[in-house]
Amino acid sequence: MTSIPTETVLETRHYTDDLFSFRTTRPQSFRFRSGEFAMLGLMGDNGKPLLRAYSIASPNWAHELEFFSIKVPDGPLTSRLQHIAPGDEILLKPRPTGTLVLDALLPGRVLWLVSTGTGIAPFTSVARDPETYERFDRVVLTQTCRTTAELQYGIDVVDGIRKDEVLSEVVGDRLTHIASVTREDAGPGQLTGRVTELIETGELFQVAGVPAWSPEADRVMICGSSAMINDTKALCERAGLEEGSNASPGGYVVEKAFVG
Ligand code: A2P
């Protein structure tokens, strides 16, 4: 049996009782395309590895890896993973994969990164990759959560882009971050309602300052729960977009947010 490589935890950040992010070392040999996921975990008490799919939240140029996770109180992995601290080791399988990648989309003008909850993780990778801005004129990152506190990770990442000397130069004013909440009052600059509602009423397009989805101009990546994916997918299809994959690039791509 080949053993699974380990990486060292460098930092953890807890956002709510249910959400945290962590950074780890990255081996030089660990290559991925922004938006992909890898199998990550801990050694189980029975001596067997306990692994789950985790989207890599950092872009492919970064020296370290970043992940954004839910904490499930009785979840076999996350009930333990939430207690990791700098210096601890995690298991990380090489050879990430996934469909939320630029290669799975046809060329277009506006890239929409539509997420709920931890579904934002692959998109904080894509939104920090200069190649994204070579391929698209505009990028709209959306995240919908139940509460404003759950939006903080995405807010911090976008703040980081704006403060980064190199990235802010590349991105300029071409990235729009739209955050919405569904179960409490929205914070300043945030919207109220599910992204599917905001698409149907047209509020999302109005706020982004661009026309509604068209097969010519728009490309969409979707990541959230199964129900969210199905509803958002239906709106893409209604706009005339077709689902893409690595083998056959299209107008939109989907992936279920993992763990939880
Ligand atoms: P809501 O509060 O109206 O259910 P969850 O934690 O259940 O995965 O939900 C995360 C966010 O995704 C919540 O804001 C939730 O809104 C929203 N959501 C849940 N189901 C859908 C769906 N089918 N389409 C769009 N958004 C959804």
49-74 confidence digits (pLDDT tens):
999 999 999 999 999 999 999 999 89
Residue 259 has what pLDDT? 67
Mean pLDDT of the chain: 97
Task: Check whether 258 has a pLDDT greater than 90.
Answer: no
- Is 1 part of any domain? no
Task: Check whether 255 has a pLDDT greater than 70.
Answer: yes
Residue whose CA is closest, atom 17 of ligand 1? 194
Comparing 73 with 36, the larger pLDDT belongs to 36
Q: How many angstroms separate the first and last alpha carbons of the chain? A: 29
Is residue 243 classed exposed, middle or buried when 0-12, 13-18 and 19+ CB atoms within 10 A define those classes?
middle
Dist. CA 184 → ligand 1 center (Å): 13
Residue 260 has what pLDDT? 54
Q: Are residues 161 and 199 in the same domain?
A: yes
Q: Are residues 112 and 81 in the same domain?
A: no
Q: Which residues pair with 11 in a beta bridge?
A: 23
Q: Are residues 58 and 119 in the same domain?
A: no
**CA-closest candidate to residue 207, choices 118, 132, 124, 112:** 112
Averaged over 183-208, what is the pLDDT? 98
Q: Are residues 109 and 236 in the same domain?
A: yes
Six-digit token pair at 246? 């690595």
Please give all residues whose beta carbon lies within 6 A of any atom in ligand 1, as ranges. Answer: 116-117, 144-146, 182-183, 194-196, 225, 227-228, 231
Test site for ligand 1: of 18, 142, 182, 203, most ligand atoms within 8 A of the Cβ: 182
Six-digit token pair at 191? 């919207």
**Share above pLDDT 70 across residues of the chain, in percent, rounded to a whole number:** 98
**Placement of tokens 């959230």 in the chain:** 224
Instruction: Give the pTM.
Output: 0.97
Task: Check whether 225 has a pLDDT greater than 80.
Answer: yes
Picking from 41, 70, 92, the residue at the C-terminal end of a domain is: 92
Give the three-class secondary structure for 225: coil
CATH of the domain at 177: 3.40.50.80
Picking from 40, 66, 92, the residue at the C-terminal end of a domain is: 92
Q: Are residues 130 and 174 in the same domain?
A: yes
**Share above pLDDT 90 across residues of the chain, in percent, rounded to a whole number:** 95
| Measured CA distances, 31 to 23, 62, 93, 151 (Å) | 16, 11, 11, 28
Task: Check whether 124 has a pLDDT greater than 90.
Answer: yes
Task: Check whether 108 has a pLDDT greater than 60.
Answer: yes
CATH of the domain at 15: 2.40.30.10
Averaged over 2-16, what is the pLDDT? 95
Residue 113 has what pLDDT? 99
Domain residues for the domain of 48 are 6-92
Comparing 145 with 28, the larger pLDDT belongs to 145
Q: For the chain, how are helix, strand and coil distributed in percent, rounded to 5?
A: 30, 30, 40
Residue 23 has what pLDDT? 98
